[in-house]
Amino acid sequence: MKKVRVRYAPSPTGLLHIGNARSALFNYLFAEHFNGDFIIRIEDTDVLRNVEGGEESQLKYLKWLGLDWKESPDKGGKYGPYRQLERLDLYQKYANELLDKGLAYKEYREDSDKFAIRFKVPENVTYAFDDIVRGTLKFESKEVEDWIIMKDNGIPTYNFAVVIDDHLMDISHVLRGEEHITNTPKQLMVYDAFGWERPLFGHMTIIVNEERKKLSKRDKNVIQFISEYEEAGYLPEAMFNFIALLGWSPTGEEEILNQEEIIKMFDPQRLSKSPAMFDKAKLAFINSRYIKKLSDEEVAAKAKKYFDKAGINIKSNEWLIKLVSLLKDRMSFIGEIITLYNNFFHNDFRINNEALNALIENDSLEMLNVFLADIKALSVFTEENIQNLIKETGKKTNVKGKALFMPVRIATTGDLHGPSLPVTIELLGKDIVVDRLTKTIATLKGEIK
């Protein structure tokens, strides 16, 4: 079998978004699975649309996702250069060869000596290829008009340059989005015109949103760019896992898979023929699973920058680690800790009807009065001392178990259920806890409606 060589060839016209990231990732998986080479080539001939820093951003966030490559503009390689604007002489050479063979012709601009070069489409030819994803696809040459391969400014068109590059770089397989299917017959014409071996093509299905509409950069309901996921606190390992599932399915039921497992399992025969749905809930679930695998210390280290950005003072690193231990299981991305923190420490303390009824049913007023007095007298406000104080309150009032812990939780947090109560109370701090207990007792007495 010919050595597998695949490429990801972005235009530096913008930031790395989900669709491009998936194309790059599937090519990477294909190369790694078959012990081949994954290369990056920059298609920068659309000069007017190129964005400053576009190339650097693409490479930065591919690396962030966990991809690596053998050859690229930043690494070099024997098939370079890897930017199309540095290869213009090659395209001109092959365009001239087609002119010499009578397979292309010049088209002069009116009243000018400048000309474009058009490819002469053969008559009555069927162009067929076996698509890795979709099976046999056929096109008739009569459906394609003579098309420009070189513009009059000396820059090649996409369908011409891509063939020259893929051939000279010895690309064996071309995996790309289905929007390129209609480009394929033009590219096959060029391969055949030069008598070159065609690569194998595979066209991945589109990504759709939850309304089953094609994912668009204008869709504000889905975060589009990989940089935004990094900024929000999604983990690169989780993003790699999630993107791999956009149009590919592993064997078995388990979908939480690390990079090594996905590479080993990756089979192009399992690429989907149906559109891949971008499921935000699935992404949140996968990312939360990866967060739970981290230690509290690791999450705290990642979370610190979000507190700094929000202008929230962290009492100590130990305090932050304890806060993480409470909130980690609720987080679907690291930056969400700020929302959870604000919900946790909110000043608008209210007890809903269900929680209030639970306090009334448990006849909790006397016990909460005792607990409030004990809390006020507590000089060292630590988890251990709070734990002992709750037990002492239970002994004094002859209340234990759920009838003790649930009312204390409701009176201090407003919730019926939650994480470790002593840790929660310690993190809230004495002033907030005293204030909330006072308000709860006043409500039970009917002083607050």
**CATH code of residue 412:** 1.10.10.350
Residues ≥6 apart with Cβ < 8 Å to 186? 119, 144, 147, 159
Residue 27: inside a domain: yes
CB burial readout 306-321, b (16+ within 10 A) else e = bbeeeeeeeeeeeebb
Lowest-confidence pick of 142-156, 311-325, 337-351, 354-368:
337-351
**What is the pLDDT at residue 1?**
67
Same domain, 286 and 300: no
- CATH number of the domain residue 320 falls in: 1.10.8.70
**What is the pLDDT at residue 52?**
84
Residue 421: inside a domain: yes
Mean pLDDT for the stretch of residues 352-363: 89
Residue 106: inside a domain: no
Same domain, 359 and 389: yes
Pairwise CA distance, residues 8 & 308, whole Å: 37
Residue 80: inside a domain: no
Mean pLDDT for the stretch of residues 6-34: 94
Name the domain boundary from 323, 344, 365: 344
Task: Give 210's pLDDT tier (boundaries 50, 70, 90).
Answer: confident
Q: Does the predicted TM-score (pTM) go above 0.75?
A: yes
Residue 314: inside a domain: yes
With beta carbons less than 8 A apart as the criterion, state whether 65 and 107 touch: no
Same domain, 337 and 288: no
Residue 27 has pLDDT above 90, yes or no: yes
**What is the pLDDT at residue 418?**
83
Task: Give 449's pLDDT tier (boundaries 50, 70, 90).
Answer: low
Same domain, 36 and 65: yes
Same domain, 285 and 308: no
Residue 255: inside a domain: yes
Query: Would you list the DSSP string of 362-387?
Result: TT-HHHHHHHHHHHHH-SS--HHHHH
Same domain, 365 and 339: no
Same domain, 337 and 359: no
Torsion of CA 77, 79, 85, 89, to 10 degrees: 140
Mean pLDDT for the stretch of residues 82-108: 97
Mean pLDDT for the stretch of residues 316-340: 95
CB burial readout 8-20, b (16+ within 10 A) else e = bbbbbebbbbbbb
Residue 77: inside a domain: no
**What is the pLDDT at residue 447?**
63
Pairwise CA distance, residues 60 & 9, whole Å: 15
Residue 47 has pLDDT above 60, yes or no: yes
- CATH number of the domain residue 283 falls in: 3.40.50.620
The count of structural domains within the chain is 3
Between strands 200-204 and 207-208, the pairing is: unpaired
Mean pLDDT for the stretch of residues 127-142: 96
Sign of CA dihedral 115, 116, 117, 120: negative
- Domain extent, residue 219, equals 1-69+205-293
Residue 436 has pLDDT above 60, yes or no: yes
Same domain, 21 and 1: yes
Same domain, 426 and 367: yes
Q: How far is CA 125 from CA 26, 91, 107, 348, 434, in A?
A: 32, 25, 24, 74, 85
Same domain, 235 and 281: yes
**What is the pLDDT at residue 101?**
97
| CA of residue 216 relative to chain centroid, distance | 15
With beta carbons less than 8 A apart as the criterion, state whether 44 and 9 touch: no
Residue 180: inside a domain: no
Same domain, 242 and 312: no
With beta carbons less than 8 A apart as the criterion, state whether 441 and 369 touch: yes
Mean pLDDT for the stretch of residues 259-275: 95
Please state whether the peptide bond connecting residue 10 to the residue before it is cis, i.e. omega within 30 degrees of 0: no
Residue 448 has pLDDT above 60, yes or no: no
Same domain, 280 and 327: no
- DSSP E strands, 289-330: none
Pairwise CA distance, residues 436 & 429, whole Å: 11
Q: What DSSP state is assigned to residue 143? A: G
The first and second tokens of residue 397, run together, are 């009032």
Residue 183 has pLDDT above 60, yes or no: yes
Q: In this prediction, what percent of the chain has a pLDDT beyond 70? A: 99
Active site residues: 217
